[in-house]
Amino acid sequence: MPDAAAAKPLLRALAGETLPVPPAWMMRQAGRYLPEYRATRAEAGDFLSLCYDPERATEVTLQPIRRFGFDAAILFADILLVPQALGADLWFVTGEGPRLSTITTPAGVAALKPADAIHDHLAPVYQTVRNLAGALPAPVALIGFAGAPWTVATYMIAGRGTPDQGPAYALIREDRATFEALLDRIEAATVEYLSAQVEAGAEVVKLFDSWAGSLEGGDFRRYSVEPMRRITQALKRRHPGLPVIAFPRGAGARYEGLHAAIGADCIALDDGVEAAWAAAHVQAGGCVQGNLASRHMVTGGEAMDAEIRRIRDAFAGGPHVFNLGHGITPDADPENVARMLAVLREQQT
């Protein structure tokens, strides 16, 4: 690890070091709970315009670093920029979320752009990464990210988020070959996208498989674990030493053994697993990230303080990155975020 990187707490933890105070950041830490974010988004006009505006995307990524002093910044973007770069139509409906043109046939998959043709469309995102690499304080690590293939595929097949990923499961039942062809196209594009982020200055990458937990039986390994493993291997071949965080949300007991199965340096945990269990069964494989319930950023108080200490202490015997078990919600109180970091970093006697 280069000398400059060696000073960054996040990179030290991802390399397997047990630190007296774990590095901390939050999923969706740049977002609607911050008034400064809402002001910048209003200037941009809409969410997608903000994603593709390097100056404003840089600004909203930096806002929580300035306000709170997190140990890492995560690129401000969206997992659905990859489908758009592949040729899917993408738009956002106010109050309802993303909408995409659906891909459910062999012809639809064949019409997608090749993986190496996505870069012109995503050039503004890479510029944001370059801006951040030059703007972050020296101890703060820069995280790039992408959605994992299964989760991205569920949106591309349904044309929107769904509570049960039903349209994706229907396609698997009716035409598994087409589903797998789509997954392969997303996987190849994800390697290209994350590799370009690293070339632009990202020091860590994270794969978000938000709907991994709904996969059952062998499909969990086939459609969540294996694509993330192949992406991780490809990235590490291109960028030796690159740390990778994998987040198969909802994996439950299947979190055990995923460091080895995916080849990731860190496994991010949702708040559905107990920290003590994860310390015994998951942290043995390497660094873990998590896993405070997001609701505590809304409710705060002594219950939040106690939970922070419980999680910190449970993972104190190995490498740990403190985070939420899912993204921070728009109704969170910024004062609770500041308090979370104060409690986490309090001097212990």
- Which DSSP category does 19 fall into? P
185 is an active site residue: no
- Decide if 155 is catalytic: yes
78 is catalytic: yes
- Hey, what are 164's tokens? 């049960």
Six token digits for residue 349:
């006697």
Q: Which segments within the chain are labelled E, that is strand?
A: 72-74, 90-93, 97-100, 141-147, 204-209, 244-248, 266-268, 287-292, 320-324
The answer to whether 306 and 344 are in contact (CB under 8 A) is no
Residues β-bridged to residue 205: 144, 244
Is residue 322 within 8 A of residue 9, CB to CB? The reply is: no
Residue of 53, 71, 78, 270 with catalytic role: 78
Contact (Cβ atoms closer than 8 angstroms) between residue 250 and residue 213: yes
Torsion of CA 27, 31, 34, 36, to 10 degrees: 130
Burial class (CB in 10 A: 0-12, 13-18, 19+), 92: middle
| Catalytic pick among 33, 37, 52, 155 | 155
Catalytic residue list contains 209: no
Q: What are phi and psi of 321, to 5 degrees?
A: -115, 120
User: Dihedrals φ, ψ of 289, to 5°?
Assistant: -125, 135
Q: Which two three-digit tokens encode residue 35? A: 């008034």
Beta bridge partners of 147: 208
Read off the DSSP letter of residue 137. Answer: -
CA distance 139 to 349: 25
Chain center to CA of 61: 14
| Known catalytic residue at 271 | no
Active-site residues, by number, are 28, 32, 41, 78, 155
